[in-house]
Structure 1
Amino acid sequence: MNYSVRHNDYSISIFIVLCGIGILLFCFIAGCVDDSSSSTNVGNLTNVPANDVIIPVASPSSMTYTSNMQKGGIPSSSLIYEGLVIKDIDGKFDPALAQSWNVSDDAKTWTFHLVQNATWNDGAPFTCADVKFTNDYMKANNLTMGYVLSDVQSIDCPDNNTAVFNLVTPYSAFLDQISRTPGITISPEHIWQNINDPQHYQDSQMIGTGPFIFTQAVPGYYQYTTNENYHGRVPAIPGVVLKMITNPDSQVLALENGEIDVVSGITPAVAQSLSGNSNISVYSINDTGACEVAFNMAQYPANISAFRHAMSHAVDRDTISSIFGTGRPTETTFLLPTLAGNAVNPADVGMYNYNLTEAQKLLAAAGFVKNSDGVLIGPDGNPVTITIPLGSKGDAVNDKIIAVLKNDWAQLGISVSTVYYEDSTQYRKAANANPVFIDSFPVLLHDDADSLGNFAVTPLQETNYYNYNDPEYNSLVAQVKNTTNQAAIQEMAYKMQDLLAKDVPTVPVASTDTLVAYRTDRFTGWDIGPGYHSIMDPRVLENLTPVQSS
């Protein structure tokens, strides 16, 4: 599994966060849906059932890609397509297209027992052949999402309802790989087997097995109707309408005017302003994103262990957390306690306490000394200057984080500058050429022991974004992949976190929350509890109940 693709590329990190929404904005198709119940006109859409949920989306950019196999959606956030399993809020796995599964003792053979009543939207039955085809076709045609199944050597179908995955090497966390960001969705063989040029094919049919069916689109609007033949829990709502509203303030105004039903990602100030509206309620989806101050250990001075230790005490998590307006400081080495639970080593909590005096002592002991002008001179005899690459201009949060770092690091005698890169490839090169970078990531990549593989060097992952390469650490990652014993995995995860605390390849800073506002006079059930990270999650939409008009 190539963690460097999943986590280490800033542009991929941003894409992963957005791809759950992206799958919903696939392309334009024509048509309309009729419903015997009351209906309304939404913009240019006609005959839309009055109880369709109307959700705003901010960007049309995700409509440009060719197919689900090229840039597929997260299984837990895709309305149309499904994977085999979905990771649950407590770290366990829910059935999707697989109703049960088992793994061999060596974690190399995974057997999935498929649901027997699932059909594609066009009525064709779903079978193991679709699972095998998805794997084989993506790899044969070098399609983007094929990397998710890079650990799979082959898939066997002993019968229509059984899929046996034979892995190249043992992998105890294989369920994570296929279910979480970005995960993998299954595609219909009877559709794709006739597509000879999938690299350029624009899928206009979007035949899936999920709880919703994409039925019509007009400029600025996209509609999905509920799949009444869905093999799982059929939603109580007739469908979903996505309405293009690019400006966040306009989204909030549309919510207040009753034009849409929900807005995700509002600021605390907006949440406060909405508190006086009797028809609007606000809730928080905790721990949806996070950021870190990371080190490129191949670049001076980050290649000096004592420098990294010193700087780990020069990151003011409390102040930076307050910038986000939601969330809290992260005091662990990498995993988040609210998501990773007992996989977090409690001995390594609070290892990087903010203390500039301690940072200065550690720097001095390592040969970094201030001159008479207050400039920090490194062991190489030169002033210590740090250039931090950033992905793009106009990111107010990143700018504020940099402002905090500049102020604190200036007190240590370190000069900090920034360079912006609109092009993701250029940003990646810059991050690999500078000693410090700011990284943002979706927290679902940091919720269990398997996530610690981000720091490993393995035969399948020849480097990582931090250029961290510790033989003991690499060995532990390999051992975790080779065992299914949870107690043993926890023990090894603790050892890996001890090594991260000792070597400090990165300093996690904060986890952030997402505030959601919704119309209480339209639907109940939005806030179904912690762990569901998107209002697009079908399990959230399945939980909605229309409010009956008096």
Structure 2
Amino acid sequence: MSIKTPRAAAGLAALILVAGCSSSGGSPGQAAGATSGAGGSAASSEPLVVYTGGSGDIQPIFNPYLPGALGGGGTIFEPLFFYNTVRSEGAPRPRLGESFSWNDDGTELSISLRSGVKWSDGRPFTADDVVFTLKMITEHKAMNGTGYQGKATATDATHVVIKFDEPAFVDGPQVLGRIWIVPEHKWKDIPDPTKEQLREPVGTGPYVVDELKPQAFTLKANPDYWGGEPAVKKIRFPSLSGNQSGATALKAGQIDWQTGPVPDIANVEQSYPGYKLITTPVNQMVLDTCANAELGCKGPQTDPAVRQAIYHAVNRTQLNALAFENTSAEISPSMALLQRDQAVISGRLQNKVAPMQPDAARAQQILESAGYAKGADGIYVKDGKPVKLTLKTVAGWTDYITAADTLGQQLAKAGIKVTVQQLSYNEWADARGRGDFELMLDSLYQGPAADPFYVYSYFYSTDSTDKVGGTPGANISRFSDPDVDRAIAELKKINVSDTAARQPYFDTIQTRVEQSMPYVPLLTQGTINIYNARKFTGWPTKEDLYAFPAAWQAPDASEIYLRLRPTGK
């Protein structure tokens, strides 16, 4: 695959995520060595070419709260802090914020902001911009991917106090690390920020827009960035026809960073001299289902029995080998990460780990117990309606296309017919948001901190969804369960350090998620990154995973841009 959906933003109102630079906690600009002469003047003018997987004509969307936004959060618009989601760190790294503290009961969050920061048009950044941004997202559900419900007040130019009606400890990383701060003086007159593309963005970030063409856009370093002008002076984002074109461009040395598969992944350094590979299993690969008939979803997948049968019919070992070159890992139906979250995975689950081999008998038993019977063509039928589903994926995403075809063949053996439909990314994203789908290959992104709570609050909360045709947050399955909603609400009130008090609510959520499966778990996706180590230094490594390496991940990508230095080679 390639592009990420912000649901994270998302995902979508567009999905996008979080970032930071120095392992010692210094400012990103300082960590990057972003001042004069990193790599020499000739090296500094060399653009970093980044392929995120985009195809087709580039749309001029720089509003960080819209699907398909260009540039990514953290690059033009910044969060207050960066939280590393792949490796737990003691404290988040400062961006626009410098420090924060909670009162004892978690109902008041006090934030100290960085002074002397300017917007890219020269106007000063102040606490009023933070208050304006927070108020704006509460007034527009499609922009409020974090579910923020506080009330913010500026006590002076560099201090903000946010009050919550109930304890909100878990909201901290979302407010501090997942909300992109926008300038009040530019946004206050926008009639509807959920529809404003924002062709000429003004931000506080390390980059500003340089050039926009149908097949590529370029960002240039912000010379007045508070952390110092970045060492990488220009970043170019081309639009290609898909993964194969990306591999060809890599071979020719025309791309410096690509997130996505290439042939013979095990021999990248031999096939692409000067390039290196890092694979990070974080995002959870799933089959999105439009699951909730009460909110307008239509199709056999609205029946939990069909979703359960799909889960048991998948041959995950074969899927990993054929589509992902064995770069993915096992997944838990709890939707907690197996390595990171092992301590909170419920003992009440039927399976802590999704089976890597199919269980045809179990799939058959589930369907037949739910009243399905096989027709003459071998496809299960109930009430005269066959279990025939359309699986939508993105044209050009070669790994996902292979995965879709493989799943179709596997599910046919279980009496479930799947037709694969390839769409442009824009068509796919539009259908996904509106609920115009039965199945989609996708992945769930992690929250701003190393805690499974965020996956649950994003993708399983009624507050994060909307009826078909409306504009949901991250919960595009339209899943809604009162027990899950209550458990999420209770988790918000508990200090994250009180693991014993949190566990009963994790038990409730995880068992209900396993039973319902609005997102059918496939594998923990190994996010593949190939980067030009000859031209640039400072890339994340397994030993120094200072940000999640993915070209589409925000604000992590911005942290990587700040850390890179051209070599002049």
The question of a shared fold, defined as TM-score above 0.5 by the shorter chain, is answered with yes
Letter in 1 for 2:96: L
Quote the offset at 1:118 in angstroms. Answer: 2.9
Q: Report the CA distance shift for 1:244/1:506 in structure 2 as closer, same or farther (over 3 A).
A: closer
Quote the offset at 1:342 in angstroms. Answer: 3.8
Q: Report the CA distance shift for 1:288/1:533 in structure 2 as closer, same or farther (over 3 A).
A: farther
Instruction: Tell which structure's C-alpha radius of gyration is larger.
Output: 1
Letter in 2 for 1:360: Q
Match for 1:479 among 490, 503, 522? 490
Is the 1:54–1:241 Cα contact (8 Å) retained in structure 2? yes
Is the 1:225–1:239 Cα contact (8 Å) retained in structure 2? yes
Matches within 5 A, 1:328-339: 328-338=329-339
Paired residue for 2:561?
A: 541
Q: What CA deviation, in whole Å up to 9, does each residue of 1:455-478 have, x standing for no partner?
A: 656567567654544433222122
Letter in 2 for 1:480: L
Matches within 5 A, 1:97-176: 97-136=96-135, 145=143, 147-148=144-145, 151-167=148-164, 170-176=167-173
Is the 2:79–2:181 Cα contact (8 Å) retained in structure 1? yes
Matches within 5 A, 1:210-289: 210-214=205-209, 220=216, 222-225=218-221, 227=223, 229-231=225-227, 234=228, 237-242=231-236, 244=238, 246-247=240-241, 251-252=246-247, 254-269=249-264, 272=267, 275-288=270-283
Is the 1:284–1:513 Cα contact (8 Å) retained in structure 2? yes
* Secondary structure in 1 matching 2:175: helix
Quote the offset at 1:314 in angstroms. Answer: 1.0
Unaligned runs of 5+ in 2: 19-35, 468-474
Quote the offset at 1:259 in angstroms. Answer: 4.8
Paired residue for 1:187?
A: 182
- 1:498 equivalenced with 2:511 (yes/no): yes
* Secondary structure in 2 matching 1:328: coil
Residues 328-337 or 80-89, more deviating: 328-337
Is the 1:54–1:243 Cα contact (8 Å) retained in structure 2? yes
Q: What CA deviation, in whole Å up to 9, does each residue of 1:416-451 have, x standing for no partner?
A: 44567747666666757x5xx234134225962132
Is the 1:294–1:439 Cα contact (8 Å) retained in structure 2? no
Is the 1:134–1:186 Cα contact (8 Å) retained in structure 2? yes
* Secondary structure in 2 matching 1:126: coil
Match for 1:525 among 532, 535, 538? 538
Q: Report the CA distance shift for 1:205/1:386 in structure 2 as closer, same or farther (over 3 A).
A: closer
Is the 2:101–2:109 Cα contact (8 Å) retained in structure 1? yes
Is the 2:221–2:230 Cα contact (8 Å) retained in structure 1? no
Paired residue for 1:411?
A: 413
Match for 2:60 among 61, 64, 71? 64
Paired residue for 2:387?
A: 385
Unaligned runs of 5+ in 1: 21-33, 41-47
Identical aligned pairs, as a percentage?
19
Is the 1:75–1:83 Cα contact (8 Å) retained in structure 2? no
Is the 2:393–2:400 Cα contact (8 Å) retained in structure 1? no
Question: Whole-Å Cα distance in 2 between the matches of residues 254 and 308 of structure 1?
Answer: 39
Matches within 5 A, 1:5-84: 7=7, 13=11, 16=14, 49-50=44-45, 52-56=47-51, 58=54, 61=57, 63-65=59-61, 67-68=63-64, 77-84=73-80
Letter in 1 for 2:315: D
Indicate the RMSD between aligned Cα atoms, in angstroms.
4.4
Q: TM-score, normalised by structure 1?
A: 0.75
Question: Whole-Å Cα distance in 1 between the matches of residues 308 and 529 of structure 2?
Answer: 38
Q: Report the CA distance shift for 1:14/1:115 in structure 2 as closer, same or farther (over 3 A).
A: closer
Q: What CA deviation, in whole Å up to 9, does each residue of 1:226-256 have, x standing for no partner?
A: 546524xx47625233153525555555555
Paired residue for 2:352?
A: 349
Question: Whole-Å Cα distance in 2 between the matches of residues 143 and 62 of structure 1?
Answer: 26
Paired residue for 2:522?
A: 509
Is the 1:369–1:378 Cα contact (8 Å) retained in structure 2? yes
Q: What CA deviation, in whole Å up to 9, does each residue of 1:65-86 have, x standing for no partner?
A: 2645656969985323211122
Quote the offset at 1:101 in angstroms. Answer: 1.7
Is the 1:112–1:163 Cα contact (8 Å) retained in structure 2? yes
- 1:85 equivalenced with 2:81 (yes/no): yes
* Secondary structure in 2 matching 1:272: helix
Question: Whole-Å Cα distance in 2 between the matches of residues 18 and 151 of structure 1?
Answer: 16
Is the 2:119–2:204 Cα contact (8 Å) retained in structure 1? yes
Q: What CA deviation, in whole Å up to 9, does each residue of 1:38-61 have, x standing for no partner?
A: 656xxxxxxx84455343565575
Q: What CA deviation, in whole Å up to 9, does each residue of 1:265-322 have, x standing for no partner?
A: 2414367365155433333243356223647254675566555444431122222222
Residues 72-81 or 157-166, more deviating: 72-81
Is the 2:98–2:113 Cα contact (8 Å) retained in structure 1? yes
Residues 445-454 or 502-511, more deviating: 445-454
Is the 1:388–1:416 Cα contact (8 Å) retained in structure 2? yes
Instruction: Using CA pairs under 8 Å that are at least 6 residues apart, name the structure with larger relative contact order, 1 or 2.
Output: 2
* Secondary structure in 1 matching 2:161: strand
Q: Report the CA distance shift for 1:340/1:541 in structure 2 as closer, same or farther (over 3 A).
A: farther
* Secondary structure in 2 matching 1:542: helix
Is the 2:331–2:337 Cα contact (8 Å) retained in structure 1? yes
Question: Whole-Å Cα distance in 1 between the matches of residues 561 and 38 of structure 2?
Answer: 22
Q: Report the CA distance shift for 1:176/1:15 in structure 2 as closer, same or farther (over 3 A).
A: same
Question: Whole-Å Cα distance in 2 between the matches of residues 37 and 394 of structure 1?
Answer: 35
How many residue pairs end up in the alignment?
512
Is the 2:379–2:416 Cα contact (8 Å) retained in structure 1? yes
Letter in 2 for 1:390: K
